[in-house]
Structure 1
């Protein structure tokens, strides 16, 4: 009995007992490496959670202090995970569990104090002053855990959404949801709030199904530290301003605003201010500013940063447009589809369709062959190999080279598109906003579509929603005209002074007849974004016909392509 009492008295007290013990304990672990240090903190918090009981204010002060000290080690472990995408599977699994497990323990620890928030003793012991910090840090850890689920293309567990909604609602009730303060005073230069942490969680969720890489998701999350302050949650829906909503009584994240999305459980927000900030950032990067100057991170390089920003701009612009469009009814089917991507490749497949019954002999053709255009785009001249291939083609016909296609399973169709299932390992290029050429069966022609939605179903299975832009596209060649008008005929090639052939500056594009949202028919063109100029005229060569056109309003922008309305000036 004496030995048992002695062991109890000699047992080290928990560092979460009071601030004095916590401070001494933190000094001892400060010399350890990040992995060991985080393990010590995680172990101490786990033991604290094993002994239920009514927590006191000194324990809360100790928890806040230990959490402060753990941030450097926790950040180092998170950086190790994000910066090493090719790590061994067992190492990835261990780091993932360490990060998610630590986040969950901190959520559980803070939740113990939140559950007793209404007790009178806490209102007299300084607990009220700590409540904004407690809720904001809880929301911060929920967002971190959600991000690590996105890294694996997993859905965030419903219990996390339930907790996040509850914590944010508590901050609203107490009236400090937007009160600014430093989340971790020793490390944060800026300020945050319960609303900022909650909005950051919601906005990252809107991009979670975009098939982004680990590094890209992490960049966006860092950018949302500042961008979240450009979003305002509203209790009342404004049709002309709001684009997303969330139900505080449902275990799920953001959703499209529906007619039934009304009442007290819902909060609404719009993207106009946030999208404007993204567009301004893109302009400044294209103007020569560095990502570090714009607060985008010192490890972010301009080309990859610019590509990601353009993708985000495209996706949120699409979200604004889709907020006013109701989806048509879908019907279950089971079909196979051939799929290609990239504007050049799509143009070749569409052009082969266009020329099935209008092939021209080589000696009388009036168009530049696609192989020649590709050579000019890649090398700046037509290669001898291409000339030889054209001469050897049966009957002297023009044909597109055989292109490898991918096979997708179509499982539902609607008036404007379809849903497909594909293997992630074979289609890691798929992103919302990607332009596709799709052929449903060998007997059908190639259609032009764009990826709208992505959702991970399993370890190697992705569901994607595709909108069909046109079932009857036409592949064309375009040439910019220097000036506002021209009466000169279309020139395909010219002899140089040295006797060689010089090809004009022709580009590939797709002509799409399109029915607008108001039901009106319009002529449209999809071309590379780098080939677009709003103040120039273009010659468009469609098979044996030539048109002079001007480009009108922009219908949509992808990462490297642009879709515009066009007006025919003369034929």
Structure 2
């Protein structure tokens, strides 16, 4: 079995790297169930297979994150690679405890660090899918870290692969994943989560993970005996399994970057794969500074919410919502099933819902959402937070206003084109006291003149600069130039 896996990766067909990786994962899964392979041969084979397949896997991840054509179906394979190899390295460590002299120390260091890396990558990619990591994911990571600590190399940086430019210690990998979790990524865009993940690889270098709480705050803590994520240290959090770190150095490094961002994108950020503009980096860094503060930014909710339990009819996506408000007919058969959506709480500016349906791919940060609740006018909002859990997906929305109206937009320069639909909320119905006008991104050009038609009347309007870009539309304002007969 080990020999066939070795032969499989020796001459990998680069042009067919997706199919090749699927076969490699199957081979590793078979090794994991084969009890006849010796520890020495098992370690040698797995390290070799991981070495050879790493470039292919990295390319797959890159293609997926950049949404390259045909990459949508890569996700299960990407995750399976980390999962099977993490399981394989875990088996090696269990066997090593019974045969401590069968494998050299440097190989144990490699498989432990790689195993922890793969396990922490699974947790990081949960963030990308707005999934709450299962407790077992943290527990498996703690097993690798405990092995590194027992063997005395938890702080020693290791080059994971021969062609890797970076070195990581087990300590850094655990802190990096913990800080990513503490960044509260459930209301970040995909590209922001990718940016934070990369940023933390740099910010978390050289931060010690100690058995005693450090002096400088904010202090965060893992309990290695519990299958739980890290949390801010509270009184009474002590014991031999607790590991503490101060985020003071991380937040200081972040502050330096924020200072630089006043003038330019620092070279360290420019070198990353993320495609954020300077202003976007500045907003993201400010967000992180708040979330990594002592209170974790928990005091920043704009309005207190009150509990409100009822079912709701929901439509998602600008085009679908625009059509519904234009025809003024939000019926159950046109919406997601009412039994799929439940309102949990509501405030003057936001709402918390739970979605228990299966079509989670429709949910995206920044996407427009229309909610019809019992004894309440139609509410228009935008999705700001997503957290997938075993009992349903929590969705937090910012309310833009109530009783939206569907309007038609005609482009005088293209009279043959069919009219586009936009969504309008009058000033009294808007949550911010300013009229809200959502329209297709393709039409959003400053000073562009259009004809707005609503309720039997038409007006010549001139667009202003867009105020916000949402995931599937733009929020603009306009000047009314004249009434059109």
**Partner of residue 373, structure 1:** none
**Partner of residue 394, structure 2:** 461
Once residues 4 and 190 of structure 2 are traced to their aligned partners in structure 1, the CA distance between those partners, rounded to angstroms, is: 35
Gaps of at least 5 residues in structure 2 are 311-341, 368-374, 377-382, 400-431, 433-485
- 1:116 match: secondary structure: helix
Question: Is residue 280 of structure 2 the alignment partner of residue 307 of structure 1?
Answer: yes
**Partner of residue 316, structure 1:** 289
**Partner of residue 339, structure 1:** none
Question: In 2 relative to 1, CA 276–185 (structure 1 residues): closer, same or farther, beyond 3 Å?
Answer: same
CA deviation after TM superposition for structure 1 residue 194, in Å: 1.3
* Contact 1:230-1:273 at 8 Å conserved across structures: no
Select 2:26's aligned residue among 43, 46, 49: 43
Question: In 2 relative to 1, CA 321–144 (structure 1 residues): closer, same or farther, beyond 3 Å?
Answer: closer
CA deviation after TM superposition for structure 1 residue 142, in Å: 0.8
**Partner of residue 83, structure 2:** 104
Q: Which TM-score applies when normalising by structure 2? A: 0.62
**Partner of residue 121, structure 2:** 144
Once residues 115 and 150 of structure 2 are traced to their aligned partners in structure 1, the CA distance between those partners, rounded to angstroms, is: 17
Question: Is residue 66 of structure 2 the alignment partner of residue 66 of structure 1?
Answer: no
Once residues 111 and 300 of structure 1 are traced to their aligned partners in structure 2, the CA distance between those partners, rounded to angstroms, is: 32
CA deviation after TM superposition for structure 1 residue 147, in Å: 2.3
Select 2:155's aligned residue among 178, 190, 207: 178
Once residues 232 and 144 of structure 2 are traced to their aligned partners in structure 1, the CA distance between those partners, rounded to angstroms, is: 22
Q: Which TM-score applies when normalising by structure 1? A: 0.53
Once residues 332 and 285 of structure 1 are traced to their aligned partners in structure 2, the CA distance between those partners, rounded to angstroms, is: 38
Question: Is residue 233 of structure 2 the alignment partner of residue 257 of structure 1?
Answer: yes
CA deviation after TM superposition for structure 1 residue 306, in Å: 4.3
Question: In 2 relative to 1, CA 460–63 (structure 1 residues): closer, same or farther, beyond 3 Å?
Answer: closer
CA deviation after TM superposition for structure 1 residue 103, in Å: 1.1
**Partner of residue 260, structure 2:** 284
Question: In 2 relative to 1, CA 214–14 (structure 1 residues): closer, same or farther, beyond 3 Å?
Answer: farther
- 1:317 match: secondary structure: helix
Instruction: Report Cα offsets for 1:436-455 as digits up to 9, x if no partner.
Output: xxxxx99xxxxxxxx99974
**Partner of residue 14, structure 1:** 3
Instruction: Report Cα offsets for 1:288-343 as digits up to 9, x if no partner.
Output: 345xx32543543451x54245324333334323169999xx9973289xxxxxxx
Mapping for residues 432-447 of structure 1, pairs under 5 Å = none
Mapping for residues 136-215 of structure 1, pairs under 5 Å = 136-186=113-163, 188-215=164-191
**Partner of residue 457, structure 2:** none
**Partner of residue 83, structure 1:** 66
Once residues 206 and 286 of structure 2 are traced to their aligned partners in structure 1, the CA distance between those partners, rounded to angstroms, is: 15
Once residues 209 and 31 of structure 1 are traced to their aligned partners in structure 2, the CA distance between those partners, rounded to angstroms, is: 34
Gaps of at least 5 residues in structure 1 are 1-11, 17-21, 337-407, 431-440, 443-450, 467-509, 511-571
Once residues 273 and 465 of structure 1 are traced to their aligned partners in structure 2, the CA distance between those partners, rounded to angstroms, is: 33
Question: Is residue 393 of structure 2 the alignment partner of residue 428 of structure 1?
Answer: no
**Partner of residue 334, structure 2:** none
Question: In 2 relative to 1, CA 420–239 (structure 1 residues): closer, same or farther, beyond 3 Å?
Answer: farther
CA deviation after TM superposition for structure 1 residue 218, in Å: 1.9
Select 2:16's aligned residue among 33, 36, 49: 33
- 1:280 match: secondary structure: helix
CA deviation after TM superposition for structure 1 residue 168, in Å: 0.8
Instruction: Report Cα offsets for 1:7-30 as digits up to 9, x if no partner.
Output: xxxxx86345xxxxx3x5433225
* Contact 1:282-1:306 at 8 Å conserved across structures: no
